[in-house]
């Protein structure tokens, strides 16, 4: 009987302790949201990064300016330590503005918006001109074969699939025509390739992005064409199959240059050698100013440091914010950090979280980790429900933090946001600061900061 009473008392005590901890956690999460939404500086930092520095292609002077500016922002945020990690990055330059012109057999011509894909070779100075072969997928390309493609320009008119509710699925499905399309066209003798921009938006902004050559095949120039331009080209080809396209590009790949990841942290009060990483990538394409992709994620991460300091929240474990360099065309920053972390046996990386889906309204967290680890995050679902953060079912983390998974088995988390507008701006000249909503940006920072606090205090 006495043993039963003792067990009951212990059970009641344990339940009361859990309830008290939950109340404390809830109050702290509330304070994080309140501080960020009232006093957050992420939006102001992003304004300078976007408007004053602009597009930050790896290896460019603007990328180096962004490194120094972000270092200063982390110091302003109150980080205990800020340092730069050296990383060698590719240095591809766009050169003079590209041009694309549709030329009818009558001689009439019309300019359409195009931009070189990242990593493309240039055209000759006078450009490349050729008849156009329109295909919608690789099966059509293969069926046409060398006989109908050799000496011509392949036009991949593969639209985003509008039936995907998660627009990242549409991007994943269409991405192969940007990445592999040039080499696949070259396989059959094409002299250049054009790919429809990967967006549902119907506008005049071509969307750039990385491509990769197959070294066993000729390297041909490749460009993206805006969706309006793609529709126009397709319509003209139906009426005039003999129409030609003239493409001019001046891009080139220079020698790799030295750049940096920017790293700032708040040291843990009890377990300083257990590290939680939060970050985004500092580089961007040069066509816009990289506000959503991914200045937003970088400044959200810096905001988390500021908020912890403002609230005098000394985390149990170390919170480390990283502005990664070279996500867009090489992932050198993410790989370099993972390589360094792998040699640092003193530290243990507990979790890494990334924001790289734009500064839009947060809905939840993607969990890229073993199934038995996911309950450690999902148990906080009720704490986030008052903030409309409810989706804990997706499985993505982030590109920059992904190298930490195979090397150190680190559980990865990605901020899940409303993605419906993201690909309107992604990799395009329209990715500018005026497209970012201050409140949405800060809500994303608050969600990540709250999760970091909870995991820091309660473990994984």
Instruction: Copy the structure tokens of residue 290.
Output: 């990289």
Q: Quick count: other Cβ atoms within 10 Å of Cβ 108?
A: 11
Sheet holding 271-281, edge to edge: 81-93, 252-266, 317-324, 271-281, 348-354, 412-417, 362-368
Tokens 């180096």 map to which residue?
A: 64
Give the integer Cα–Cα distance in Å for 340 and 332: 12
Beta-carbon contacts of residue 332 (< 8 Å; ≥ 6 apart): 58, 87, 88, 89, 90, 325, 326
Query: What distances in angstroms separate CA 138 from CA 189, 224, 244, 268, one per listed residue?
Result: 15, 17, 22, 52
Instruction: Copy the structure tokens of residue 99.
Output: 């041009």
Give the integer Cα–Cα distance in Å for 115 and 121: 12
Q: Tell the burial category of 333 from Cβ atoms under 10 Å away from its Cβ (0-12, 13-18, 19+).
A: buried
- The catalytic residue among 35, 62, 184, 327 is 327
CA nearest 450: which of 405, 409, 389? 389
Cis peptide before 206 (omega within 30 of 0): no
Annotation says 327 is catalytic: yes
Instruction: Copy the structure tokens of residue 107.
Output: 């001689």
Which residues are the active-site residues? 327
């Amino acid at each position: 009987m006495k043993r039963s009473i003792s067990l009951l008392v212990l059970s009641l005590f344990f339940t009361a302790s859990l309830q008290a901890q939950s109340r404390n956690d809830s109050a702290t999460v509330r304070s994080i949201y309140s501080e960020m939404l009232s006093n957050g500086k992420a939006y102001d930092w992003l304004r300078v990064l976007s408007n004053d520095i602009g597009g930050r292609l790896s290896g460019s002077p603007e990328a180096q300016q962004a490194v120094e500016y972000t270092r200063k922002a982390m110091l302003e945020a109150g980080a205990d330590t800020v340092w730069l990690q050296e990383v060698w990055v590719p240095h591809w330059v766009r050169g003079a503005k590209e041009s694309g012109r549709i030329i009818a057999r009558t001689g009439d011509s019309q300019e359409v918006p195009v931009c070189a894909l990242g990593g493309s070779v240039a055209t000759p100075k006078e450009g490349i001109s050729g008849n156009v072969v329109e295909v919608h997928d690789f099966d059509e390309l293969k069926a046409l074969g060398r006989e109908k493609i050799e000496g011509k320009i392949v036009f991949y008119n593969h639209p985003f699939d509008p039936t995907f509710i998660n627009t990242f699925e549409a991007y994943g499905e269409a991405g192969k025509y940007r990445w592999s399309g040039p080499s696949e066209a070259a396989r059959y003798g094409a002299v250049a390739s054009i790919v429809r921009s990967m967006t549902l938006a119907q506008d005049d902004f071509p969307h750039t992005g990385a491509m990769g050559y197959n070294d066993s095949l000729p390297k041909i120039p490749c460009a993206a064409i805006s969706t309006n331009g793609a529709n126009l080209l397709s319509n003209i080809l139906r009426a005039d199959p003999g129409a030609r396209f003239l493409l001019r590009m001046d891009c080139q790949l220079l020698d790799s240059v030295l750049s940096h990841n920017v790293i700032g942290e708040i040291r843990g009060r009890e377990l300083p050698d257990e590290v939680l990483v939060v970050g985004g990538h500092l580089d961007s394409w040069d066509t816009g100013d990289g506000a959503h992709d991914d200045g937003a994620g970088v400044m959200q991460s810096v905001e988390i440091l500021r908020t912890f300091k403002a609230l005098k929240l000394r985390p149990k474990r170390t919170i480390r914010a990283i502005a990664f360099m070279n996500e867009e065309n090489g992932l050198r920053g993410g790989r370099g950090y993972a390589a360094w972390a792998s040699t640092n046996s003193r530290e243990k990386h507990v979790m890494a979280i990334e924001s790289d889906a734009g500064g839009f309204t947060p809905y939840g967290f993607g969990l890229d980790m073993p199934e038995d680890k996911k309950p450690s995050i999902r148990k906080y679902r009720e704490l986030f429900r008052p903030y409309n953060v409810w989706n804990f079912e997706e499985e993505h983390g982030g590109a920059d933090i992904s190298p930490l998974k195979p090397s150190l088995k680190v559980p990865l988390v990605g901020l899940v946001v409303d993605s419906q507008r993201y690909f309107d701006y992604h990799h395009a000249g329209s990715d500018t600061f005026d497209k970012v909503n201050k409140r949405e940006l800060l809500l994303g920072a608050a969600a990540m900061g709250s999760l970091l606090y909870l995991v820091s205090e309660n473990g994984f």
